[in-house]
Every structure is written in structure tokens, then in C-alpha cells.
Chains A and B, each alone.
Chain A
Amino acid sequence: MIGQSVYVPRLLPELESLAPGHRACIGCGEVLAMRQAFKAIGRDAIVVNATGCMEIIASQLPYTSWRLPWIHTLFENTAAVASGVEAGLKAMYRKGRYSRPDTKIVAVAGDGGTVDIGLQALSGALERGHNLLYICFDNEGYMNTGIQRSSATPYGASTTTSPAGKESIGQFSWKKDLPGIAVAHRIPYVATACPSYPVDLIEKVKKGVDTRGPAYIHIFSGCPTGWGCATNLTVRLGRLAVETGIFPLYEVENGKYTMSYKPEKLRPITDYMKPQRRFRHLTDDAVEMIEKRVAVEYYKLLEKAECQK
């Protein structure tokens, strides 16, 4: 996949739905992922955006970076608003007041808006079976409000509300497995992706929007501002997260797991952690413990994919 780098720009659709000039930080992995995702989604789409980084960078009155119809209302209700848009269009199409049968409803939110405050609305929308794609851009914390921990923050990471200290290792809990929770709703399509693997990401988003029924894609998106790393490392850290087994890429189609990428051997997690300030305080013992747990989780996932073959 690394070998594809030179060709990638030629392989991707030229369409841009997010205009340049937005106010994302240098090296933002979320906006990179969003740009890639919307290349796959096309123009027959409506975007429902949660409050968060991706909302504020693209929507300061009286401007917008969006070339698609776009709505933002609140933080925790994105999946519910998207349900309403979907239902509204469905009813109007049936009654002859809306002419497009295939308009894609795409809900986008950060990890806080998805795994914490928006989880109830998301669960409701997935359970009810609305025809929509929900994308979580996961940068592992509340970066927009000043780098606080969310339940997607990895164990050991120092954030402003899980600071490392004499009595604290930093984040005290293990990252919530949101793709697993989405799978438990028995929806037709769940996937993980990362903008460091653009071809894979775009293929998955295409599958997601073409799914009849709810689809959920969890995109790992680097955040130099929140992670304390050099701004040119976003893409590299994404790859390292995948190669260390910290963020495996996989799909779950109608309950069937498939690994999208299997590194021959997992890299040591220090390769991934070292360039990031949020992990700098961790002792060798702590790193070793995390590495073991990462491996356990990774092989559990691999087993699921293998035994379903």
C-alpha cells in the first residue's frame, strides 16, 4: 500500500465537495479524511454535521466551505437529525414532492459526538434502520474544546482532563470499541478506515453510501494539535497506528468480518507512541502492558475474521 503513494492522486476521484480556505489546523487528519470521504460520496448528498472541529472550521457565518447541502444543529443529536432528513425525503419522494430516489444522507461527527454524548442518538438511528451513512472522525479526544479526554482516548494518553501526574497515568480507561457497538446493532455495513490509506478509505465510503440501510464508518484521524506531534506526521502516524495493531483496518458486512490490511508482523508500539507528546510520560512497563493488550485485541479481531472465512 505504501508503494501506491505516487499514484494515489491519480486513482482518486477529482470531485471536491469541501472547498479550500477552511480553518482546520495544519496537519489536520480529520479534514483530510473528510475530503477523501466526500470524493466518494458525490454531489447527490446531504451532510448532517455534529458540533465539533469539522463544523467550526467550515462554517463561520457568513461563509461555508461546503458545496453540498449541509446542516448543523447541536452536538449530540446528529444521528437523530439525519434520521429526520432521511424520513422527510422518503415521505416527500413517495408523495411526489422530491424527485431524487438516491440522495445520500451522510452524518459526520467527531469521537466525542459519537462515542460519548451522541451514542444514544446513534444507537437509535442504527436500530431503526434508517438509510444513512454515519462517519465518525476519531481524533481521540475533545480537541475543539481544548484536548479533553473522551471515551475514544487511548489508555495512557495525557489530556487536559486526564492529565498524567504523580497519581495518574493519564487516560485511565481503554478506548471504547464503537465499531463493535455498531456491529452489535446488526446493521449491514461497518468499517474502520484511516486517511493514510486513501484508496481503502474511499472504497469503504463508497460501499457505505451504497448500502441500503444504516452504515457506520469509524475513521482514525490524526491530530497534531491534540497529540503533540509534528504537523507533518499525521499520515505517518496513521500508518503506524495500523501497522502496530493499535487501529486495525477491517470491514464487517452483514456481520462478516474481513481484515482490510494485515501487517506481516505487528510493529513495536513505541514507533507510534514516541513522536507524540501525549504518551511521553509512559514508563517502559506501561508501554509493555499496553503493547500486550493491543496484541490481545488485535488477535481477537483477526480470529473473528479468520474463523468466518
Chain B
Amino acid sequence: MAKRVGIETSLAVSEVAAACDVDVVAAYPITPQTHIVEHLADLVANGELDAEYIPVESEHSAMSACLGSVAAGARTFTATAGQGLELMHEVLFVASAMRLPVIMAVANRAVSSPLSVWGDHSDVMAARDVGWIQIFVENGQEAVDNTICAFKMGEDHNVLLPVMVNLDGFHLSHMIEPIIIPEKEEIRRFLPPFDYPLPLHPDKPVAMGDFAPPVIFTEAKWAQEVNLQKSYDTILRIWKEFGDQFGRYYKPVEEYCTEGADTLLLTMGSFSETAMTAVDSLREKGKKVGLIRIRLWRPFPFEELRKAVDGTKTLIVFDRAISTGGPGGPVASEVKAALYNLPRKPLVVGFVGGLGGRDVTREGFEEIILQGEEIARNGSPNEYEIYGVRE
């Protein structure tokens, strides 16, 4: 039986990727993800993990090498952050469109310029439409559990899609927490060996990555879209199986104190735990507030979100990225789109904050909730509010 140990989240993610018996790790160093790939390099160097470690010369090549190794049929893991994810950008599209289940941890980081190694969600929001399954976690345990689930989800024959596990840079990646790391044997019972249906093999030649003229391109993209949407059911099934075996259950949209709430705050990632304490504090003061957290960002959980906010008057969405020149935060605009056609829906107020590593405290979230309610009552001249900015 696995014991709970105090360990840095990054190291725990590496431990568990190794316990999933990855065949290939191709990675390039970038803060704040480095501890993940450094620890994997250690495990390989010490003979604790039998894998090929490719120390590539860029993130573009990291993801490209991952495409090659998955196409050969090897279980493949990498990690990146910020600029690294942006440099990978065009390769990310290829991984999903070619149905190559690369599993990747992203220690979310701001995008230059100005240069910032600290956390926010600008990196992953720019990679929103790349066709990957995208999961957000909020603590070390969730990072570990969802890394294991990511392999099973991505490699499922009904899915065969790459999976990104988003864990906030520094706020989560560098946090030492008590985490249960499942034993290798337990993981083996949960996660079957990788069996890619049509790998590159001289005995059975396949052509992967042909070009598509207009007569077939739309069909190819639609097949990809249907596949990603359909992966939803498999994702739910795998989270259920994980819960049944390990006792920790996950849902696409997590709810906290939503019962009878007039105002809901919506967050993603590690700030959610701080936001919970703000909700507790306001509840104590008699305010009817609650919190919802989107865990599954792609495929987007439309139904669960609609259900979770049903009956609420105000929904305050907290984004850690700006869609510059646009509607403010990408999460807020997607949430608005998901609710717009409903006959009964909450008023959505968007806040952007926590950029480039700036913290938002419990008091901060309380302030956001109260200000959001005030905007819901009296309106605001702004499309969205930016929290804590000095003008």
C-alpha cells in the first residue's frame, strides 16, 4: 500500500511517470518545469527507469521526437512551460491530428515579454485549440493522479489523443506537499501496457501524415473533432475507474459550497484552494457564495458547467490570462459562450489576475467576489476587470 510522503509536486509527477513505465522521455529545460525532467533524467541515470532519455536541443524538437517515438509505439512523456509550449505550438496540432498520444505536464508560466518565469495561464490558453485533452489540477495529489489517468485516457483505443496535465508553475510545481504516490504494482493494475494500433513497423508498412487536398481536409478535421468530443465519455469512465481503485474521484467540473449559492466564483488550477478559503470566510459572514472549478478544459464540459451554474444569479470568472484586445479572459469568454443561449443563466462578470506569478490571497478572492456582486448589481463600464493592477 502506498504511503503518503512529503515531496515536491514536480518530483512526484516524475516519480509517477516513471512508475507508468514510460519508454521515452524527450525534453528540454525550461523554468518552472525543469525539476520534472531533471528528476526523470536522474531516474534513468540511476537505472531506476528503463527508458530512452533524449536531451533535445529545443522544445520544438522535444515534441517532434515525442511524435516519432509514439508513432513507433513507445510510451512517451515530456514536460514544458511558457515559451517552451509556444515553441512547440505547431507540433502540438500534429500530435492530436495524427492521433499520437504524447503525455505532457505543463508547469504553466507567463509568456514573454516582459520575460517572466512565474506562473499564469497565458501559455496554455494560447494552445487552447490544438486538439489535446487538457486537464487542470490544483494540488500535488491531483497532479500525480491525473498524470496516471492521462496515460490511460490518451492511450485508450477509442481516444488516441495527446493529453496535457496543467499544473501551475511554482505555486504548484515547486510546492512540497504530502502526496500519496501509488505503487508501481497498483499502477500496473490500473494502466494496461501501451498498444498503439498501427505503429511504424517494417512488417506492416503504414503511411502517417499524408497531405490532404480540399476534397478530404474538412472530413479529416471533422473526424478529429468528433473523436475529441467523444473522448469525453472515456475520460469520465477512466476517472471513475481510478476513483474505484484508489479512492480519489475526479470530475470535469468540481463544485464547492454551490448549494443555494446566489454567487459563484469560477477558477482553474492551484488558485482554487485559496478561493475555497475565501468562500468559507464569506459563508461564515452569511454570504451565499460558492466555487466551481473547471478541471477538464478540453473537451469542454458544456453540460456539467450548465448544470453547476443553474439557478445562480452571478458567476464571477477568474482568468489567469488576457485575450489582448479581446473579451478579457479566455475562460470567461468560453463560459459566456456556453451559457449564452440558455433561457435561464447567471450574469457573467470577468476578472483577470494572478499574472506572471502575482499571488491572489484569500482576502483578494473575497474582494473579487464582493466587487463582482457589486458589478452585477450596478454594472461596469469595462468588458472585464483586472484585479490588483497599479495604474
Contacts and interface: CB of A to CB of B under 8 A. Distances in A.
Contacts of A72: 208-211
Chain B facing A: main interface SS = mixed
Contacts of A71: 67-68, 71, 200, 207-209
Contact of A91 (B56, B74, B206): B74
Interface stretch (B47-55, B157-165, B303-311): B47-55
A211 to B, nearest CB: 19
Nearest to B97: A73
B202 A88 contact: no
Contacts of A46: 72, 200, 202
B90 interface: yes
A55 B211 contact: yes
Given A62-B216, A88-B74, A73 B210 contact: no
B73 interface: yes
A72 B69 CA distance: 13
B224 to A, nearest CB: 13
A69 B26 contact: no
B258 to A, nearest CB: 44
A123 B94 CA distance: 22
Contacts of B76: 84, 88
Interface stretch (B7-15, B57-65, B262-270, B284-292): B57-65
A100 B204 CA distance: 13
A84 B72 contact: yes
B1 interface: no
B220 interface: yes
Interface stretch (A75-83, A242-250, A258-266): A75-83
Interface in A65-115: 66-74, 76-77, 79-92, 94-95, 97-98, 100, 103
A121 interface: yes
Contacts of B226: none
Nearest to A63: B210
A186 to B, nearest CB: 16
A97 B51 CA distance: 13
B201 interface: yes
B326 interface: no
A7 B90 CA distance: 48
B213 interface: yes
B154 to A, nearest CB: 16
B73 A67 contact: no
B64 A81 contact: yes
B181 interface: no
A60 interface: yes
A20 B76 CA distance: 36
Nearest to A89: B72
Contact of A82 (B23, B51, B68): B68
Contacts of A48: 68
Interface residues of B, number: 46
A121 B64 contact: yes
Contacts of B201: 69
Contacts of B58: 120-121, 124
A183 B51 CA distance: 29
Contacts of A69: 200-202, 204-207
A80 B64 contact: yes
A78 to B, nearest CB: 8
Contact of A80 (B60, B71, B193): B60
A246 B220 CA distance: 45
A123 B58 CA distance: 11
A59 interface: yes
Interface in B324-354: none
B52 A56 contact: no
B117 interface: no
A44 interface: yes
Contacts of B62: 80
27 contacts: A44-B202, A48-B68, A56-B211, A59-B207, A62-B216, A66-B207, A69-B201, A73-B64, A74-B64, A76-B60, A77-B60, A77-B61, A81-B67, A83-B54, A83-B68, A84-B24, A84-B67, A84-B70, A84-B71, A88-B76, A89-B72, A92-B72, A97-B193, A98-B72, A121-B58, A121-B64, A128-B55
Given A72-B211, A79-B61, A120-B61, 6 more contacts: A61-B210, A71-B207, A76-B60, A77-B64, A81-B67, A87-B68
Q: Which 10 A-B pairs have the closest CB atoms?
A: A84-B68, A88-B74, A88-B69, A88-B72, A124-B57, A84-B65, A77-B64, A80-B61, A80-B64, A87-B52
